[in-house]
Structure 1
Amino acid sequence: MKQLPPDTVRLLSSSQVIASVVNVVKELMENALDAGASSVDVKLENYGLDRIEVRDNGHGIKAEDAPVMAARHFTSKIGGQEDLERLETYGFRGEALGSLCAVGEVAVITKTEDEDVSTQYALNFTGEVVSQKPSHLGQGTTVSVRKLFQNLPVRRQYYSSSKKCRDELRRVQDLLLAYAIIKPGLRLTLVHDKVAVWQKARAADHRSALVATLGSGAVGNLLPCHHRQEQPEVYIPICHHS
């Protein structure tokens, strides 16, 4: 027996985190929501295998944080073990981006409110910034992933049939549908090969979000039901079929 080289270990572990196109979209969507985004555009090329792009209008990544934005175990969200008890975010950007770098070619364009122009960063296999240049995009962050699973032939082979590709696109749409319902104020679009597949405008409340996503006919057959739990505090508005 012999020890695997670090690059192989990194690739294998990352392929457990990023196992599909919908995994990529989920990780990048949650990063966008954690950044306070109210608008997210998801663009796929060849069902995401050639390119996945998620653009948000969130807070952006500060220039001083950019060198470690895809470094594993770097985060601004926790400082110690006790912070895990009161997390209000979806996860840690570095863990997701770091894993993405191991299974595709990643570029990040980002701008904070205080910066004059956005910057485009190219990342290598280990998540290090290898180049940067000014960009024209406004405030927020755009992450693009090209050639997904190019170094994992078995994973890539999974998408060899058109049916599996179509199923994956539907899973991406279902994922965005869920975010659209729980985040009424979020504007969302899904584009595949430059064709708009699905979109949802900002809504005033959960009922409006349900109408925008499920349609007035479906929502007309729902009855509001509220559940509150004190410890730990949870408040969930639930709709049941009448």
Structure 2
Amino acid sequence: MAGDAAEVGDEVTEVAGASEAAKCIKAIDKTTVHRICSGQVVLTLATAVKELVENSLDASATSIEVRLRDHGTTLLEVSDNGKGVEECDFEGLTLKHHTSKLQDFGDLVGVKTYGFRGEALSSLCALSDLAIITRHFSQEVGTKLEYDHNGKLLTKMAVSRQVGTTVSLQGLFSTLPVRHKEFQRNIKKEFGKMIQILYSYCLISTGVRITCTNHDGKGKKTVVVSTSGHPTVKDNISSVFGARQVSSLLEFQQKTASADVLAEYGMDVTDGTVQGIQPY
């Protein structure tokens, strides 16, 4: 009985101590904040691929290759033939809220690119081991860059590369043990969602060749999806889903409303453009 009473007393003391500690509101250290926030920017394998493909499209790439090893658990790599990264941008490329797309808040109105907030590469640094090989069109050789989990440039060395950029991620979500375990456990589902997202960019990106391959543990290479840089969405649909799927589609043609309808809504047509409608 006495022993039981002592154990209960110890538990009460521990609970009281925990309660006292809980009352102390303290700032979370910057490294933990960075990981928490990064985990809200890049949620899945699909999000990681989406962000990297969008960066390639923003760089005016006409050829984008997505390469995965073990469905993305070991390696995710996106390579393009875009304009590359200038040397003056090496330091700020992976830092939080660093971007070349905005100078002030008013610039948001004119943003015409996919990425502009400067969060994707910074978040991927926090969630994986990130390395970049890039060559700007103004440079004669490429540069390999390695960053730490805070987005700070660690090493820089000259390498051979054609104009463009390759971003490699090893051990995605490895800095978040619980998320990493769930990621590995549900990798087939994650991979399936990634493919659906990639299909979307394959369809809408006319004039851009997009390929995705996966290498399994035995080195076997599987082509997941491949387009040929067709000039129309219809041709892209044929590359992704097959010619039979295209034959069952109907082409949508946009036509201007009649004069009576335009007058009813207070609109007019100038040079073939409907006035009074503002795009968002």
TM-score (norm 2): 0.79
Q: Which residue pairs with 1:190 in the alignment?
A: 212
DSSP-derived class of the 2:88 partner? coil
DSSP-derived class of the 1:53 partner? strand
Q: What is the CA–CA distance in structure 1 between the aligned matches of 2:112 and 2:105, rounded to whole Å? A: 14
After superposition, the Cα gap between the structure-2 partners of 1:226 and 1:85, relative to the gap in structure 1 and judged at 3 Å, is farther
**Residue 160 of structure 1, CA deviation:** 3.8
The residue type equivalent to 1:169 in the other structure is F
Q: Which residue pairs with 1:181 in the alignment?
A: 203
Q: Does 1:8 align with 2:54?
A: no
Q: What is the CA–CA distance in structure 2 between the aligned matches of 1:83 and 1:227, rounded to whole Å? A: 31
Q: Which residue pairs with 1:102 in the alignment?
A: 126
Q: Which residue pairs with 2:244 in the alignment?
A: 217
Higher share of residues assigned strand: 1
Structure 2: segments with no counterpart, 5+ residues: 1-24, 216-220, 256-273
Structure 1: segments with no counterpart, 5+ residues: 235-242
Q: What is the CA–CA distance in structure 1 between the aligned matches of 2:194 and 2:207, rounded to whole Å? A: 20
Report if the CA contact (8 A) 2:226-2:239 is conserved.
no
DSSP-derived class of the 1:69 partner? coil
Q: What is the CA–CA distance in structure 2 between the aligned matches of 1:108 and 1:24, rounded to whole Å? A: 15
Alignment of 1:18-97 (within 5 A): 18-92=42-116, 94-97=118-121
- How large is the Cα RMSD of the aligned pairs? 1.7
Q: What is the CA–CA distance in structure 2 between the aligned matches of 1:98 and 1:221, rounded to whole Å? A: 43
Q: What is the CA–CA distance in structure 2 between the aligned matches of 1:160 and 1:78, rounded to whole Å? A: 37
Report if the CA contact (8 A) 1:107-1:122 is conserved.
yes
Q: Which moved more, 1:9-18 or 1:169-178?
A: 169-178
**Residue 168 of structure 1, CA deviation:** 1.7
User: Which string of whole-angstrom CA distances, capped at 9 and with x for unpartnered residues, describes residues 153-181 of structure 1?
Assistant: 111121343xx222222222222211111
Q: What is the CA–CA distance in structure 2 between the aligned matches of 1:92 and 1:131, rounded to whole Å? A: 25
Q: Does 1:133 align with 2:194?
A: no
The residue type equivalent to 1:197 in the other structure is V
Q: What is the CA–CA distance in structure 2 between the aligned matches of 1:186 and 1:45, rounded to whole Å? A: 23
Report if the CA contact (8 A) 1:36-1:58 is conserved.
yes
Q: What is the CA–CA distance in structure 2 between the aligned matches of 1:8 and 1:157, rounded to whole Å? A: 19
**Residue 53 of structure 1, CA deviation:** 0.3
Q: Does 1:116 align with 2:162?
A: no
Q: In the comparison of the two structures, how many residue pairs are matched?
A: 232
After superposition, the Cα gap between the structure-2 partners of 1:113 and 1:77, relative to the gap in structure 1 and judged at 3 Å, is same
Report if the CA contact (8 A) 2:132-2:144 is conserved.
yes
Percent identity over paired residues: 33
Q: What is the CA–CA distance in structure 2 between the aligned matches of 1:23 and 1:116, rounded to whole Å? A: 33
Q: Does 1:199 align with 2:226?
A: yes
**Residue 233 of structure 1, CA deviation:** 3.5
Q: What is the CA–CA distance in structure 1 between the aligned matches of 2:104 and 2:97, rounded to whole Å? A: 12
| Bigger Rg, which one | 2
Q: What is the CA–CA distance in structure 2 between the aligned matches of 1:206 and 1:36, rounded to whole Å? A: 18
